[in-house]
Amino acid sequence: MEMLSSPDFWIGMLKIIWVNLLLSGDNAVVIALAARSLPPKQQKLAIFWGSSAAIILRIILTIFAVTLLTLPYLKIIGSVLLVWIGVQLLVPDEGEEDVKSSANLMTAIRTILVADLVMSLDNVLGVAAAAEGAPPEAKMTLLIFGLAISIPIVIFGSTLVLKVMERFPAVITFGAALLGWISGEMLVTDPSLVAWVTENADWLHHWKVSAAIGAVLVVAIGSYLSRKASQASEAGA
């Protein structure tokens, strides 16, 4: 296939996998919490079926998100949301989600499905934005392949992913910067801004300036808020 020879296709694939791995940590925790009271055999079934249903629905939601991002002003909103999501990754978490465990297989599957969908806004938006730079004819293929590859990795390797993030905080910082990078790229391609940027600020497109500004902005704001949160925590101790 011709699209497989395109560097943009593989760059988009790597972005989708990385963004999904980074943003699915909480989802992996929810899956574990929902199934923790089941017998070991049923735990595996609950994780498999609950996650499979969530994957299918997330692919559908992501395709809708990609379509919506072609409308004026929505990329601007999406860009701002991505900055917010990236900043939140760098700010210490206040606590875990209150997810009830279940001793019933079907109830656990339903809990996993609902919780995953409720928590998937960041994943859907991040993945949809990561696919923006891909060749148009390859975009849907890229989305489906990227999600199909990355979500099972999160589901079955969630413990490893979380441990790596805990041991190497720089991984989270890099991921937050990536979201800022994608945000900057997306902002200047909004249909309502393209003509203005081309006429008055074309330099934003050169050397990925807009993307670099987005990455620096996320890391700077996130680091500042993280320091403030740490200082407040130490003062209250």
Say if pTM beats, i.e. exceeds, 0.85. no
Higher pLDDT, 127 or 101: 127
- Counting residues of the chain whose pLDDT is more than 70, the rounded percentage is 76
Closest listed residue to residue 231, CA positions, set 97, 88, 91, 83: 91
Q: pLDDT tens digit string along 193-230?
A: 888 988 888 888 776 899 999 999 999 999 999 999 88
CA distance 237 to 228: 14
End-to-end CA distance of the chain: 60
Angle between helices 139-167 and 40-68 (to 10 degrees): 130
Structure tokens that stand for 174 in this block:
């890099």
pLDDT band at 86 (very low <50, low <70, confident <90, very high): confident
Helices (H), 36-168: 40-68, 74-90, 105-118, 121-130, 139-167
Structure tokens that stand for 13 in this block:
């694939």
Residue 3 pLDDT > 80: no
CA distance 86 to 174: 10
Q: What is the pLDDT of residue 120?
A: 66
Q: What is the pLDDT of residue 96?
A: 47
What is the overall mean pLDDT for the chain? 78
